[in-house]
Structure 1
Amino acid sequence: MYVTYRYRNLSHAIDDPASPLREYFHRRFPNVRPVQDGYRQASGPIVVEGVTASPGTVAAAFDLLLRFRLDAGYRPRVAAAAEAISAVPEHVATVSDVAAVAGAAVRPSSDGDIESAVAVRACWALALTTELYRNPLLVLGSPPAALIRDGEFTTEALLALAPDDVVELLGALYTRAVTALADVLAGPHDAVALGPAFAGSRWCAADADVIVDGTLIDVKTRMGNRNKKSGVRSDSLPRNDIYQLLGYVLFDRPDEYRLTEVAVYSARYATLHRWPLQQLLDTLAGEPVDLAAERAAVWELLGAQDDDAGAVVEPSPSAVPAPETAADPEDVSAPAEAVVADSEDVSALSDAVVADPEDVSAPSGAVVADPEDASAPSEAVVTGGAEPDGRRGWQRLVQWRGRLFARRGRS
């Protein structure tokens, strides 16, 4: 019986040497060097340093800050999707209240100021509750889970979770972003999509960070590579990041978002890199590219049917992108790679993969169990719409803890 490659999410497909999608990107768009060189030349020195917390949580919280700045009424559903939260209406209301606090805090006042510390604390709390959904096995080391166990899951307690150094770091990133992304963050806009999923996300979980008026923006908060001699860090654009952008563009088979430009915002370098979409495709391919034809080719690789090309894909309930993969494996400040439940992924953290090499990493000190072997065989039946592995993992953990406590009670 003929079977096809099973796509877990876009990041995994790009990382996996056995993936037909990765092979296609390498063969069809091999000329990444000109794009990488231009990226390095446009990058200045790092302006916001500091590695005081989980890089993945920092990335997720910063992404949320930008989303709330673009839409103060934004409500990240995935932040309340963890079983321990979604099963209790009062907990869901608390998470919604934290989101409302974030939206109100990022809205500029008459003098242009914002309550950045309050916004940061709210977004940090939402990033932590999102991690509790994406990686349910973090429950034993998750600060929100501890609040639930202690009966203290309140708005005030969640806002108090962010350490002062995290508030300072994210505040600095956000302050820089308000200037560097002034034309993006300032309205009005014709169309804004936060954490958008794509038609192809049905077969390979993928969602971007933000799309504003036809410009797809991927947000990065990584430190960059450190020169071993000088100790100075510099920014770079790994090949897989470029292919991640391509994946988003080519997954949009019906051209729902009318993309005309792609961009990467490097938060620690406060630099927005932009490329006209057609120019980027032609440069990477080394020849003129027919966008519709390339989207059709990717559609076939995903195992999708032609009559599904115009299907509307509901955004997955994710809100925050997962952390980025390190360009330099020796860079100790890079987040450890983790498995993200097939949702939006990180996103497609729309409302995530982010899913997105952007898989969510655990909070500092937490242990993450990989629910899926990364070395899984390259041939498997394509599936879609299955229950996320993370939710099943949560249920197994709850059952295991229940049995453990029952034994302790009998002893």
Structure 2
Amino acid sequence: MSALTYEVKDRQSPVAAWLGVTFAQHKEIQAEFRVAAGPQRVVMPAGVAPGTQGAAIDFWLRMLVDPQPSIALPLVGLVSGRAPCLRAGRELLHELAAGESPHKTAGGEVELRMRTAGFADRGDEWWARVCYALALLVELYRAASVENSRLMRLNESSGSGDLLALANDVEVADLVAMRDLAVERLLPALPAGPVTTGMTFDGSADLAADADLVAGGMLVDFKAGQGGKPRADGTRAASLGRTDLDQLLGYALMDYSDRYGLHTVGVYAVRFGYLAAWPLAELGQRMGGRLVDLAALRKEFAGVLRDQLPPYQTRRGW
């Protein structure tokens, strides 16, 4: 099955096409975001892999708000057998899950959760290295090629300590800096209420999609990119791509049954320490140019995923 993140990047996909027509007015939102975010506060060090670092800080931010965040995707990546790190990964995941074994939900999904309370005495470096290791394991599930992954430095006899050693000191310091900024800027801005991280939606059965965070009815997507192209002085402005907006709207529309009671959606620009949040109805109206009926749009979007997407994927060769 394809994923929402892929489909919104393929402008020929029925998913991207429908979102582009239904919510055509995006430039004003993007401009407001760019100005309001302000300067970049945690600059990405040279030589850091943006994708891995972004996935690592995603895990850490989830751990800040969720006492039992899912670590199922790292497990799925591990058991894929794409890298010689089975023993090391098993040791780490077993420790993080406090010895609990993975199981499958009624929907057939793998379930495994970290028990964060058991690691309250661990230092920042340990947390950063754990999150980096989890990000590497997820890449075994998501990445098209893993031949250059640091996991290939391990062998069948490697242990969890070897896995945690794969992050270098620069990456660890960068992750700690992004975590510190989130504690200052993100956590106080989240609404009170139930918290869920790494959640899937009703529509995830039609198109793979798992989001970062829902807190008190606000869906938040984390973006750890550097922003736009460097200015003459080397600084960057925050950027909010059309695909970022499509992904955010796609998540909200895939909650067919309104399970999460979403009323607000937002993007947290990790390196800028900026949370942009919009009431869902307001964002839909501004981008759609009209009042929106969320229930009707969810039904229509479900039709796109179920009726239009499969034949397109067949033509695409999937």
- Shorter-normalised TM range: 0.7 to 0.9
2:314 matches 1:380: yes
Contact 1:251 1:295 in 2 (8 A): yes
2:234 is aligned with 1:231: yes
Q: Note closer, same or farther for the CA distance 1:284–1:190 as it changes in structure 2 (3 Å cut).
A: same
Structure 1 residue 378: Cα displacement: 3.4
Q: Residue 40 and residue 89 in structure 1: after superposition, are their counterparts in 2 closer, same or farther (change >3 A)?
A: closer
Conservation of the 8 A alpha-carbon contact between 2:89 and 2:163: no
Structure 1 residues 279 and 99: alpha-carbon distance in aligned structure 2, compared to 1, 3 A threshold: same
1:41 matched to 2:35: yes
Q: Which amino acid aligns with 1:17?
A: R
2:138 aligned residue (130, 151, 154):
130
2:200 match: 197
Which of these two proteins has the greater Rg computed from alpha carbons? 1
Match of 1:241 in 2: 244
Q: Does 1:268 align with 2:275?
A: no
Q: Choose the corresponding residue for 2:126, options 105, 113, 118.
A: 118
Shift of 1:28: 1.4
1:273 shift after superposition:
0.7
Q: Aligned in 2, Cα 1:156/1:99: closer, same or farther, shift over 3 Å?
A: farther
Which of 70, 82, 95 is 2:65 aligned to?
Answer: 70
Match of 2:15 among 17, 21, 29: 21
Q: Secondary structure at 1:259's aligned position in 2?
A: coil
For normalisation by structure 1, the TM-score amounts to: 0.65
Change beyond 3 A, Cα 1:227–1:193: same
Could you say what secondary structure the match of 1:302 adopts?
A: helix
Contact 1:178–1:185 (Cα < 8 Å) also in 2: no
**CA distance in structure 2 between the partners assigned to 1:145 and 1:181 by the alignment:** 35
- Alignment-mate amino acid for residue 117 of structure 1: E
Q: What is the CA-CA distance between 1:263 and the residue it aligns to? A: 0.7
Unpaired runs of 5+ residues, structure 1, are 1-6, 305-375, 383-388, 390-411
Tell me which amino acid in the other structure corresponds to 1:122: V
Q: Secondary structure at the match of 2:29?
A: helix
Q: Counterpart in 1 of 2:305? A: 302
Q: What is the aligned counterpart of 1:103 among 109, 116, 119?
A: 116
Alignment of 1:214-225 (within 5 A): 214-225=217-228
Query: How many Å apart are 1:286 and its aligned residue?
Result: 1.1
Q: Which residue of 2 aligns with 1:156?
A: 161
> Could you say if the C-alpha distance between residues 243 and 253 of structure 1 is closer, same or farther in structure 2, counting changes exceeding 3 Å?
same
Contact 2:218 2:266 in 1 (8 A): yes
The answer (yes or no) to whether the contact 1:70–1:185 under 8 Å persists in 2 is no
Q: Deviations over 1:19-66 (max 9, x none)?
A: 222222121111112211221221110111123321111011100101
For 1:201 and 1:274, locate their aligned partners in 2 and report how far apart those are by CA, in whole Å. 23
- Cα distance in 1 for residues equivalent to 2:68 and 2:185: 23
- Equivalent-residue separation in structure 1 for 2:38 and 2:141 (angstroms): 36
1:279-332 deviations in whole A, cap 9, x for unaligned?
11111111111111111111111126xxxxxxxxxxxxxxxxxxxxxxxxxxxx
CA distance, structure 2, for counterparts of residue 63 and residue 97 of structure 1: 20
Which whole-Å CA distance do the structure 2 matches of 1:378 and 1:75 have between them? 32
Q: For residue 136 of structure 2, what is the amino acid of its counterpart?
A: L
User: What percent of counterpart residues are identical?
Assistant: 33
How many residue pairs get aligned? The number is 297
| 2:133–2:163 CA contact under 8 A, matched in 1 | yes
RMSD of the TM alignment (CA)?
3.0
Map Cα deviations across residues 224-257 of structure 1 (whole Å, 9 max, x no partner): 1134433321112111111111101111111111
State the partner residue of 2:108: none
2:218–2:264 contact (8 Å) kept in structure 1: yes
CA–CA separation in structure 2 for the residues paired with 1:208 and 1:75: 12
Distance in 2 between residues matched to 1:377 and 1:52, nearest whole Å: 41
State the alpha-carbon separation in 2 of the partners of residues 283 and 105 from structure 1.
Answer: 45
Q: 1:207-218 maps to which residues of 2 (within 5 A)?
A: 207-218=210-221
Work out the CA distance in 1 between the residues paired with 2:243 and 2:140: 27
Higher deviation after alignment, 190-199 or 174-183: 190-199
Distance 1:15 1:201 in 2: 17
* Distance in 1 (alpha carbons) for counterparts of 2:189 and 2:115: 19
Q: What is the rounded CA distance, in whole Å, between the counterparts of 1:30 and 1:126 in structure 2?
A: 36
Shift of 1:162: 1.3
Query: Which of residues 253, 257, 282 is equivalent to 1:254?
Result: 257
Equivalent positions of 1:46-57 (< 5 A) are 46-49=40-43, 50-57=45-52
Structure 2 residue ranges without an equivalent (≥5): 99-113
Change (3 A) 1:227 1:13: same
TM-score norm. by structure 2 comes to 0.83
